[in-house]
């Protein structure tokens, strides 16, 4: 396989499919104000981050770097 073919194969694995549902957090001053549900490049709906579903989505996508910091703050209290 040539370099171009292997690069194309790798990029197709990384790129999301057109029908894949993704979520984007909209932040203002470091606070999530909305969550956009996207299907490919099309905006499907806006989810309130304070709703049950919004909290579930944010909990799923919270980075691991933030979790130890929160645990450390709770231990310090």
pLDDT in tens, 17-63: 568 999 999 999 999 999 999 999 999 999 999 999 999 999 988 76
Structural element, H or E, at residue 25: strand 21-28
pLDDT of residue 73: 52
pLDDT of residue 18: 64
Burial track 62-76 (b if 16+ CB lie within 10 A, e otherwise)? eeeeeeeeeeeeeee
Output Rg (C-alpha) for the chain, integer angstroms. Answer: 18
Q: Which of 45, 1, 51, 52 is nearest to 23 (CA)?
A: 45
């Amino acid at each position: 396989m040539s370099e171009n073919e292997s690069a194309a194969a790798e990029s197709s694995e990384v790129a999301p499919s057109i029908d894949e549902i993704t979520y984007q957090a909209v932040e203002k001053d470091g606070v999530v104000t909305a969550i956009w549900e996207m299907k490919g490049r099309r905006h499907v709906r806006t989810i309130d981050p304070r709703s049950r579903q919004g909290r579930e989505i944010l909990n799923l996508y919270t980075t691991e770097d933030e979790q130890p910091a929160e645990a450390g703050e709770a231990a310090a209290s």
